[in-house]
Amino acid sequence: MEIYLVRHTETICEKGICYGQSDVDIAKPFDKIFSKIISELPSEAVILSSPLQRCVILAKHIQENINAISYQEDKRLMEMNFGDWELKNWNEIPPEELNPWMEDFVNIKTTNGESFTELHERVGDFLSEKISKTKHPIIIVAHAGIIRSILCHQTALALTEAFQNKVDFGQVIRIEL
Ordered domains of the chain (ranges, CATH): 2-176 (3.40.50.1240)
Distances (CA, A) of 62 to 22, 34, 104: 23, 8, 36
pLDDT digits (tens, 9 = 90+) for 57-81: 999 999 999 999 999 999 999 999 9
Residue 104 identity (one-letter amino acid): D
pLDDT digits (tens, 9 = 90+) for 86-131: 999 999 999 999 999 999 999 999 999 999 999 999 999 999 999 8
Containing H/E element for 172? Answer: strand 172-176
